[in-house]
Amino acid sequence: MHDERRRIEERVERVHNQRIKPAIYSATVPFGVEAWQAPGEPVSFEEAAAARYEPFAMDTPWGPPWGTTWFRMRGQVPAEWAGRRVEAVIDLGFVSDWPGNQAEALVHLPDGRPLKAVNPLNQYVPIGNPARGGEEIDYLVEAASNPDILANDFAAPTPLGDVLTAGDKPLYTFQRADLAVLDEEVWHLDLDLQVLRELMVHLGEHEPRRHEIMHALDRAMDVLDLDDISGSATAVREVLAPVLARPAHASAHTVSGVGHAHIDSAWLWPIRETKRKTSRTFSNVTSLADEYEDFIFACSQAQQYEWVRDNYPHVWARIQESVKKGQWAPVGGMWVEADGNLPGGEAIARQLIHGKRFFIEHFGVETKGVWLPDSFGYTAAYPQLAKLAGNEWFLTQKISWNQTNKFPHHTFWWEGIDGTRIFTHFPPVDTYNARFSGEEMDRAVRNYQEKGGGTRSLAPFGWGDGGGGPTREIMERARRLADLEGSPKVVVEHPDEFFAKARAEYEDAPVWNGELYLELHRATYTSQARTKQGNRRSEHKLREAELWATTAALHAPGYTYPYDKLDRLWKTVLLHQFHDILPGSSIAWVHREAEAEYARVAEELEALTAEAVAALGGGGTRVFNTSPYERAEVVRTADGAPAYVQVPANGSAPLAPARPAQPVSVSGRVLDNGLVRVEIAEDGTLASVFDLRANREVLADKGNLLRLHTDLPNYWDAWDIDKHYRNRYRDLLDASSVTVVEEDPLIGAIRVERSFGKGSKLTQTVTVRAGSPRIDFETEIDWHEAEKILKAGFPVDIRAPHSSAEIQFGHIQRPTHTNTTWEAARFEVSGHRWVHIAEPGYGVAVINDSTYGHDVTRTVREDGGTTTRVSLSLVRAPRVPDPEADQGMHRFTYSLLPGAGIEDAVAEGYALNLPLRVADAAGAPEPVVSVDGDGVTVEAVKLADDASGDVVVRLYESRGGRAQGVLRTGFPLAGAQITDLLERPLEPAVVDGGVAVSLRPFQVLTLRLQRAEGN
């Protein structure tokens, strides 16, 4: 047989695209359209309905950036269309095929009920099937003119990312607003051809099935009447029916399709726009559920449900009905799809608590899995926290983006730092926006790593990132692929069903231990430093407010615990941990608002804490310690004078200054407190840090070396730092001044000032305090660089085989060598409050109060010694998507802690992030809780969320070993329960003068403490 593949394939492509697709709508009549441009921010339906509308013609420009235009569309179904399938078709002037970041609209009925959204791939609104001739149609359409930030593939900075800089030039030209008749037979023919053509081209050229489909398509084109597409469509479909009816092979892979619409809670649009995106997408989804009884939609992020509940009650009611029918599956059990690395341990716990509780309360559904497809790596603390919240499975997708190494599994057991394992799946289709294309189905099968062990994988389908969701065309593809030779079998089902089947067939799936590190998007540990600092400060201020509010509620008559305020503030912080806000990868508008929101949170939490402390009584001065460790430390009194005090963990003490063992001396550029001696060089770097206790020099070279690197990644500016950043840099060695600024027996400080680059200025105050080996670098940067990253390096004279970095409820070890591509790819990593390096007998920690990104490298010197360098990433200057990212003032502190073990790093990490509070108080009760026993660390103290008055304490083992201790209370204890994260009892705790605690390495334990009556 002659090879005619090219002729046939090109013939089918042209006829399909140029003749069949245009014939899907067989008749149209235009709507009459009027328009009203809403001033400023979006308005309510009621305000829009009462506005004055002006006539509007097609092909007219509309929509300033971030504007809202309301269109009134009126029309009448022609009498001759009665009994046919009639739809409204609206094209706002869409500029690409991505629904998420451009013009979008929500269609309302005259009474205000949202009907359905329109976007580039979902332009129709159903009117009647069958339609009634003469029916009057009246719509009010809320159209958002969101700019296309992704235009030109992020090639250049754009001012469109903030309403303050975007201008007012119209972005779109309205193309179409019609009543139209859908020719269902032509529409189905179009879908038949799509599925067969895509299957054909992804089958091997040696496959008989490919040639069978090809010749069937050629015969079908012979039957098609190009002058009467509608009239001949049925005959064409009959030719294709046999090849569409051929069943899949018995061994064919099964793809479990789950409807999805990934909606970033903010990204290339502000939060206010996400609120509208949810209404559009959820309207589409509930409309699709009415058309397809076998449709199932999985949706995460309780925050987005709450927005819909509060702003779109009609859509909310439709969601509730879809949940009851089993077509809508709440998943994920988190408040938002948070970043997977940066939120603190307690914050991830609260993500799971607030998310799961929302779904239980409003739908009677307890979610079983963590649905987190698009975060930029995943902490090794997740398996334990997920299981403690009652989850059975974990799903993500993003690891498929790895730059260097292909992750070796798609279905596996993920083991966390404490040993907890959770059943985990990465969809091999490599997208969470699947549409069941031939290419996707081919990739899912080829890519699947578990062949021979498992036979199924999951595919979230529907347009996403900016919403949109599944379409009827995708559902039709799924139906055709349910049992089709040459393709995997597609079944639409609930994700819980998929995970149950996958686990049942592959119980002995392989195990992956430790973090799921994404070999890409490493700059998200550093970009938008003020957003990250706001998160860190908020997490610690929430801890402080809860602790002292609990103390006041237990001991201050008349004080009322602020349940509602704390709930609201936690949810605000959780929202901003979304995986494009906290990582710093959103537009300028998002981060501008985030910084303002964090400032409001800080102010309100400060007021709550002050109110709680004041309730304990005034008339004296006390020092309050929110840290879980006892502290002997220098504080500033009300008049600014330093004082050395000792304060118990989670408690307070009178401001009764004590004497440290040795005062601080300042001699020239040398600070000495009897524990460490620090010498500042003329260039402002550390010339020496000598540990007087260990009698050894800590540094192998200049310490606190500030290095300015060129930082232009290959593509995603705010997201990525590529390895070549290391190749070009400038060391900042030109200090304009090195000055002693404090010389006191309790504090010695030297200030270093620098100017560099494009007008940037940096001031650091190097401080040594009595009684502590910790050296603080209080830093202020007025930053005006572009495409640069600033790092602070500490070359330490230690041969460390690995570094340890704090993560949620513990720490993780990473090798300092680069033996394999897996280690080499970790050239920039994340950590929380501290990084620790050690050799047997000696260690050093680098501590911070707001940074996350760092790197640890190791070199061997000519003298044979080893230098292990810890470098903190302080601030970046990406220009896309926010051209002014990180510009301006930054204030933060990081510290060097010589002679530190892990336990010292943990304690000082808390201390730096939880400053002692000096306040007016005559007296204070014993700490709410205290712990006898090393390694048992209290993370949270609060009243139970059910307002029962029980005290909830969350603690964990922090050193990486086993720990035993006794938790004692500052109030009469009636009983105790071990609970899950949602404070639901699991088993009684042993109470004997306190609560006996026995923890495995890094175990998290939640205790619910019942107070004795009358307390």
Tell me the pairing of strands 328-330 and 511-513.
unpaired
Report the alpha-carbon distance of residue 342 to residue 583 in Å, rounded: 8
* pLDDT for residue 60 is more than 80: yes
User: Of 443, 435, 441, which Cα lies nearest the Cα of 460?
Assistant: 435
pLDDT for res 99: 86
Question: Which entry of 183, 264, 374, 430 is annotated as an active-site residue?
Answer: 374
Report the alpha-carbon distance of residue 23 to residue 296 in Å, rounded: 30
Q: Which amino acid is at 547?
A: L
Is the separation of the CB atoms in 161 and 113 below 8 Å?
A: no
| DSSP code per residue over 672-685 | E-SSEEEEE-TTSS
Report the alpha-carbon distance of residue 125 to residue 140 in Å, rounded: 13
Between 925 and 596, whose confidence is greater? Answer: 596
CB neighbour list of residue 768: distance below 8 Å, 6 or more residues apart: 664, 671, 672, 673, 676, 678, 747, 748, 749, 775, 776
Is the separation of the CB atoms in 530 and 890 below 8 Å?
A: yes
Report the alpha-carbon distance of residue 66 to residue 102 in Å, rounded: 10
pLDDT band at 1015 (very low <50, low <70, confident <90, very high): low
Cα dist from 405 to 81, 431, 714, whole Å = 58, 18, 18
| DSSP code per residue over 449-497 | TTBTTB-EEEEEESB-BB--B--HHHHHHHHHTTT-TTS-EEEE--HHH
Edge-first strand listing for the sheet containing 995-999: 929-932, 963-969, 995-999
Percent helix, percent strand, percent coil in the chain, to nearest 5: 30, 35, 40
Report the alpha-carbon distance of residue 858 to residue 868 in Å, rounded: 4
Mean pLDDT for 673-682 is 98
Question: Measured in whole angstroms, how far is the alpha carbon of residue 642 from the centre of its chain?
Answer: 41
Cβ neighbours around 145 below 10 Å, total: 22
Cβ neighbours around 153 below 10 Å, total: 8
Q: Tell me the H-state helices in 848-990.
A: 902-913
Is the separation of the CB atoms in 478 and 379 below 8 Å?
A: no
Report the alpha-carbon distance of residue 46 to residue 818 in Å, rounded: 63
Q: Per residue in 370-422, pLDDT tens?
A: 999 999 999 999 999 999 999 999 999 999 999 999 999 999 999 999 999 99
Q: Is 374 a catalytic residue?
A: yes
pLDDT band at 921 (very low <50, low <70, confident <90, very high): confident
Is the separation of the CB atoms in 933 and 892 below 8 Å?
A: no
Show the tokens assigned to 49: 């309905």
Question: Measured in whole angstroms, how far is the alpha carbon of residue 512 from the centre of its chain?
Answer: 22
pLDDT for res 1010: 97
User: Of 615, 612, 255, 245, which Cα lies nearest the Cα of 410?
Assistant: 255
pLDDT for res 951: 98
pLDDT band at 992 (very low <50, low <70, confident <90, very high): confident
User: What residue ranges in 685-759 does DSSP mark as E strands?
Assistant: 686-691, 696-697, 705-710, 729-731, 735-743, 747-756
User: Of 227, 231, 179, 224, which Cα lies nearest the Cα of 25?
Assistant: 179
pLDDT for res 640: 87
Share of the chain above pLDDT 70, in %: 100
Q: Which amino acid is at 946?
A: D
pLDDT for res 957: 98
Q: Per residue in 634-676, pLDDT tens?
A: 999 888 889 999 999 999 999 987 788 899 999 999 999 999 9
Q: Per residue in 502-523, pLDDT tens?
A: 999 999 999 999 999 999 999 9
Least confident window among 283-287, 557-561, 657-661: 657-661
User: Of 125, 68, 65, 115, which Cα lies nearest the Cα of 91?
Assistant: 125
Find the angle CA(898)-CA(900)-CA(902) to the nearest 5 degrees: 150
pTM here?
0.97
Least confident window among 539-553, 656-670, 876-890: 656-670
Is the separation of the CB atoms in 839 and 808 below 8 Å?
A: no
User: What residue ranges in 712-801 does DSSP mark as E strands?
Assistant: 729-731, 735-743, 747-756, 760-769, 775-783, 788-796
Mean pLDDT for 554-566 is 96
Q: What is the mean pLDDT of the chain?
A: 97
Is the separation of the CB atoms in 836 and 811 below 8 Å?
A: yes
Cα dist from 463 to 114, 285, 371, whole Å = 20, 11, 17
Mean pLDDT for 830-847 is 98
* pLDDT for residue 153 is more than 80: no
Least confident window among 134-138, 616-620, 984-988: 616-620
Q: Per residue in 231-244, pLDDT tens?
A: 999 999 999 999 99
Report the alpha-carbon distance of residue 303 to residue 703 in Å, rounded: 45
pLDDT for res 212: 97
Cα dist from 199 to 441, 477, 478, 655, whole Å = 9, 11, 13, 77
Is the separation of the CB atoms in 105 and 118 below 8 Å?
A: yes
pLDDT for res 1: 65
pLDDT band at 588 (very low <50, low <70, confident <90, very high): very high
Show the tokens assigned to 157: 């900075």
How many Å is the Cα radius of gyration of the chain? Answer: 31
Cα dist from 839 to 802, 816, 904, whole Å = 9, 12, 15
DSSP code for 215: H
Tell me the pairing of strands 411-415 and 172-173.
unpaired
Find the angle CA(420)-CA(421)-CA(425) to the nearest 5 degrees: 150
Cα dist from 173 to 57, 58, 281, 700, 966, whole Å = 10, 8, 23, 64, 70
* pLDDT for residue 861 is more than 80: yes
Q: Per residue in 527-538, pLDDT tens?
A: 999 999 999 999
Find the angle CA(753)-CA(755)-CA(757) to the nearest 5 degrees: 150
* pLDDT for residue 574 is more than 70: yes
Tell me the pairing of strands 67-76 and 136-145.
antiparallel
